[in-house]
Amino acid sequence: MADILTLFIADGPSAFGIDSYQWVSIAMLILIGVFIWKKVPAMITGGLDAKIEEIKAQLDEAKSLRAEAETLRDEYAGKIASAEKDAEAMMEGAQREADAILAKAEADSKAMVERRKRMAEDKISAAEREAVDGVRASAANAAAAASRSIIADTHDGDADKALADEVISSL
């Protein structure tokens, strides 16, 4: 077993009586010392702190953007509700207008029918009056013609002379 131990111990180089693993330890201690002396941990934590601050700023900006987006969403939801109310009011107004136009059209059509009926009755009355006047005129003409012919047959010159004298004396 002693041979095995000598194999492990005599394995690596050594300088100034220090073995290789001890040189590695010393080099690591020097490296850590240089890092501390040059303030590498402070630079690392400073970089990390700056990154943390940048991330916090981004998170704050995201929160403000979210709040702004929610405000806009609420505003547009209100506008949509208002637009829906306006559209409903417009529909109701249009329905009332349509009903009013329909009622007016019905009233106008009834009035027009009444006017045309009255005009037709007036035309019929006028035609009746013309017919009655025509019949009366025809009757008067026939009566006048009959009177002329009767008078012409029954009157002679002596009767005319007596009639003319009577008319002159009455004047």
Range of weakest confidence among 18-32, 53-67, 138-152:
138-152
Please list, residue by residue across 110-128, b when 16 or more beta carbons sit within 10 angstroms of its beta carbon and e when fewer do: eeeeeeeeeeeeeeeeeee
Range of weakest confidence among 8-17, 52-61, 67-76:
8-17
Return d(Cα 166, Cα 87) in angstroms, integer.
98
When pLDDT is cut at 50, 70 and 90, the band that residue 61 belongs to is: very high
Q: What pTM did the predictor assign? A: 0.39
Token reading at 104: 């007016």
In angstroms, what CA-CA distances link 70 with 62, 74, 163? 12, 6, 121
Chain segment 120-167, per-residue pLDDT in tens: 899 998 888 888 888 888 888 888 888 888 877 777 767 777 777 888
Percent of the chain with pLDDT over 70: 90
pLDDT for residue 7: 46
Please, are residues 41 and 35 in contact by the beta-carbon 8 Å criterion? yes
Give the residue extent of every domain in the chain.
Answer: 1-38, 39-170
